[in-house]
Amino acid sequence: MKAGKAFAYVAHMKPGYETKEAISTDTPMVAARIISPVTSTSSIANIMFSIAKNSKDPERAMMFLNLLYSDKELINLIDYGIEGKHYVKKGDLIGFPNGVDTQNATYSPNHGWEWGNQFLSIQPMV
């Protein structure tokens, strides 16, 4: 896409995908959804949180889980680390600070989809 030699590709969709791809390819993007969104029990069961029956403080554990779905600062801290050290804002998206990439990043779990409310999470550039 970035080289101007393609006009389309197939990808799994998620909120903000067109914007992320438009920025990374420097090309305006429009998504054409071929099928309706689908989910299954296995999709949900892959990322289920629970509190152990023998937890010493289940109420506090539940408070933390609730924060993963309501606190934008917490979810971005867990997803991307410390702003300015592990990531920098680039408009509505984020990327690595100058001199940092996937090879030398000290915090880049790349599992933001796994934790909490992804709608609260800043979208990465790549």
Q: Is residue 22 part of a domain?
A: yes
Q: Is residue 12 part of a domain?
A: no
Predicted structure pTM score: 0.65
Q: Is residue 47 part of a domain?
A: yes
Portion of the chain with pLDDT greater than 70, in percent? 94
Q: Is residue 58 part of a domain?
A: yes
pLDDT at position 44: 64
E-state strands within the chain = 88-90, 93-95, 123-124
Cα(108)–Cα(95) distance, rounded to whole angstroms? 11
Cα(78)–Cα(80) distance, rounded to whole angstroms? 6
Q: Is residue 92 part of a domain?
A: yes
Domain count, the chain: 1
pLDDT at position 121: 86
- Mark out the alpha helices in the chain (DSSP H runs): 17-25, 41-45, 58-68, 72-80
Q: Is residue 56 part of a domain?
A: yes
Q: What is the pLDDT of residues 29-85, one digit of tens each?
A: 888 888 887 777 766 666 678 899 999 999 999 999 999 999 999 999 998 999 999
Q: What is the pLDDT of residues 8-26, one digit of tens each?
A: 888 877 777 787 787 777 7
Domain hosting residue 55, numbered range: 17-124
